[in-house]
Amino acid sequence: MEASAILHLLRWVRNYYQDMNARLGVGEELLEPKLIDGKQDQLVTEYVHLIRTKLAEWMGNLLASETREFLHRHAYPDTDAAGRYTMSASIIMFQMVNQQVDIVSSSSRGALMHDVLAECTTALDEFHRAWLRLIDAEHTRFVERSADLAEGLPEYTMAVGNDAFRAREFAEALATRMDALVDPDHAPRVRRRLDTTLDGFMRLATRCNAVLIDIVLCDIRPALAQLHTPSWYDNNGGNNNNPMAPIIATLDDYCTDFSAHLCEHLLTKLKADLLERFVVAYIESFRNKAARFRVPACVDRFRADLDNVKDFFAKLKTAKRVNQAFDAVDKLVAFVCSTGGLAFLDFWSLYNPYRDLPISFVEELVDKREDLDRAAKKELIENCKSKVAEESAKRKEPITPTVFGKINVGKEHK
C-alpha cells in the first residue's frame, strides 16, 4: 500500500472514533467490530518502513551530491546574501523533514508522529556523522600533504561549518514547532531526539572550526620552527629574518577570509579558539631543536615579537582577553630572560599560577640558556624541582588545568 493511502486510512479511522465519541459519548474501546480489523499498529509500522526507505534514498542522493562537490572543489562554494560560504544540504534536508511532519500531522499527533520524527532524526544524525568522517579524512590528507588533495579546503570547510550551524538552527525551530504538534505523552521523547540532532550538527560545526585552525597552524609551523633559533637573532629586529612577520601576515590573511565568509557565531568562537591555540603553539616553539636563549640579546626580540602578535590578536579580541591569554607567555619569557638571583623568583611567579607546568619543560628551557654555565643551570633546576616537590606535598586539591597542560613535552621540536 502506498504511503498516502495508509495515512488516509489512519486519518479516517481517527476521525471516525473521535466523531463517535463526540456525538454519542462512546469511546473507541466500546465500538465493535474494530475498524480495519484493529490493524492500525500494523499500518503505522508499514508507513514508518516506507518513510525510512524514502529518507535513506533522499539523504543518500543528497550526501553523494554534496560530498562530490566538497571533494572536487572545482570552484568556490556558493555564498549567501551576506557573503558567507554555504552548502545547500541543510535547507533541502529540513524541507524534507518538515514536509513529512506536515503530511503526518493531519493523521496523528501520537505514536505515528513520534515514529516518523524518529526516522527523520536518525537520517539527519547519519548525515552529520558522515560529514564528520569526511571532514576528518580531508583534514588528515591536508596534514599529510597528499599530492592529489584539491585546492580550497579552507573555503569548503567554512561552507560545511556554516551549513551545519544553519542545520542546528533549523533543528531548534523544528523542535519548537513540534511542541504544538505532538501529544504531551510523546513530547519529551521527540524533544530529546531533536536535541541530540541539533547537538550533532553543532559538533560538526565545531569540528570544522577546529580544522580551520589546524590549517592555519600548519601553514605557520615552518615559521614557528625558526623562532628562538640563531637566525632569529639576526638583523637587529628587522623583518627580513624575523619569523614573526610571516606568521602574523599569514594569520591576518586567514582571519580576513574567515571574517568575510564565516557566520558570526562560528567566527566569534574561532577567534577565541585561535588565540588559545596560538598561545600553545608559541609556547611549544620554545622547545625548537635549535632554540637558544641568549640573554640579554633575546630580551628585545621577545618584546618585539610579543608586542606585534598581541597587536594582531587585539584586532580579534579585547586587549584584556589577549593579555590574559598571553599571561603564561609573559611569565615564561620573564623566566627565560631572568638574570642573577632573580631566576628562581621568576620561576615561582610562573609556577604559582600554572601548577601543571611540566618540570621537564623547565629543565629544557634552562638547558637552552647560553648565559648560564653548567653549575648555574644545575643549581637553578634543583631549586625549581625542590619547590615543586614542596608544593606537591602540601597540595590537597587537584591541580587546575592551564595552558601548560596542552603543550607537547615529548620529543624536542624540529
pLDDT digits (tens, 9 = 90+) for 353-375: 999 999 999 999 999 999 999 99
Q: What is the DSSP letter of 237?
A: G
Q: What is the DSSP letter of 149?
A: P
Q: What pLDDT is recorded for position 76?
A: 96
d(CA 205, CA 76): 19
| Burial state string for 324-344 with b = 16 or more CB within 10 A and e = fewer than 16 | ebbbbbebbbbbbbbeeeebb
Cβ atoms of 255 and 271 within 8 Å: the answer is yes
C-alpha to C-alpha distances, 113 to 16, 92, 224, nearest whole angstrom: 19, 20, 56
10: nearest Cα among 139, 113, 128, 91: 113
Q: What pLDDT is recorded for position 128?
A: 97
Which positions ≥6 away from 331 have C-beta within 8 Å?
346, 349, 350, 353, 354
Dihedral Cα 95, 101, 107, 110, nearest 10 deg:
170
Cβ atoms of 237 and 304 within 8 Å: the answer is yes
| Burial state string for 374-396 with b = 16 or more CB within 10 A and e = fewer than 16 | eeebeebbeebeebbeeeeeeee
More confident residue, 141 or 339: 141
Q: What pLDDT is recorded for position 335?
A: 97
Domains of the chain in sequence order: 3-213 (1.10.357.50), 225-406 (1.10.357.70)
Q: What pLDDT is recorded for position 241?
A: 72
- Residue 343's φ and ψ, nearest 5 degrees, are -60, -45
371: nearest Cα among 280, 291, 293, 269: 293
Q: Which phi-psi region, left, alpha or beta, contains residue 413 (left: φ > 0; alpha: ψ -120 to 50)?
A: beta
How do strand 85-86 and strand 78-79 relate by DSSP bridges?
Answer: antiparallel
Using DSSP, state whether 381 is helix, strand or coil.
helix
Given a cut of 60, whether residue 8 has pLDDT beyond it is no
Q: What is the DSSP letter of 181?
A: T
357: nearest Cα among 407, 321, 318, 392: 407
More confident residue, 117 or 408: 117
- Least confident window among 105-119, 230-244, 257-271: 230-244
Written as nine digits, the cell of 380 is 637553578
d(CA 61, CA 163): 17
156: nearest Cα among 202, 111, 215: 215
Distance of CA 162 to the CA centre of its chain: 12
**Greatest Cα-to-Cα distance within the chain, rounded to the nearest angstrom:** 102
Cβ atoms of 59 and 68 within 8 Å: the answer is no
pLDDT digits (tens, 9 = 90+) for 381-391: 999 999 999 99
Using DSSP, state whether 183 is helix, strand or coil.
coil
124: nearest Cα among 33, 227, 200: 200
Written as nine digits, the cell of 364 is 629544557
> Band of the pLDDT at 26, cuts 50, 70, 90?
very low
% of residues, the chain, pLDDT over 70: 86
If you count them, how many residues does the chain have? 414
Given a cut of 60, whether residue 103 has pLDDT beyond it is yes
More confident residue, 186 or 167: 167
Average pLDDT value over all residues in the chain: 88
The strand pairing partners of 275, in sequence order, are none
Using DSSP, state whether 317 is helix, strand or coil.
coil
